[in-house]
Amino acid sequence: MGGKWSVRGEGVFGDAVLPGTLADSALGREQNYETWNAVSNKQERYALRLQHQYVGEAVWSRRVTVPASLAAKPLELFMERVMWNFVCF
């Protein structure tokens, strides 16, 4: 379901538009010359980067109204290109 979603996470909050990424919506840590120059690995320093970077948990939320005609039917949420991180204890 495309459109505007609310996003909150560790140090990041705001609105993001789907389809898209947090970086597309200018959410996350801004990458600038100083952060690029601070990388000691030469190969990583000259790699292409997004202007904003966020790595961590992010909670996406949006209010959805389900029509009465679909109330008794199963609904499915499809999430594309999600970077999952599984933690095993």
Residue at 75 is within a domain? no
Range of the domain at 34: 3-70
The pTM for the full model equals 0.66
Per-residue confidence in pLDDT tens, the chain, 89 aa: 789 999 998 888 999 998 888 889 999 888 877 776 676 666 666 777 778 888 888 888 999 888 999 988 998 888 777 776 655 55
Task: Please tell me the predicted confidence (pLDDT) of residue 25.
Answer: 92
CA distance 51 to 54: 10
Domain count along the chain: 1
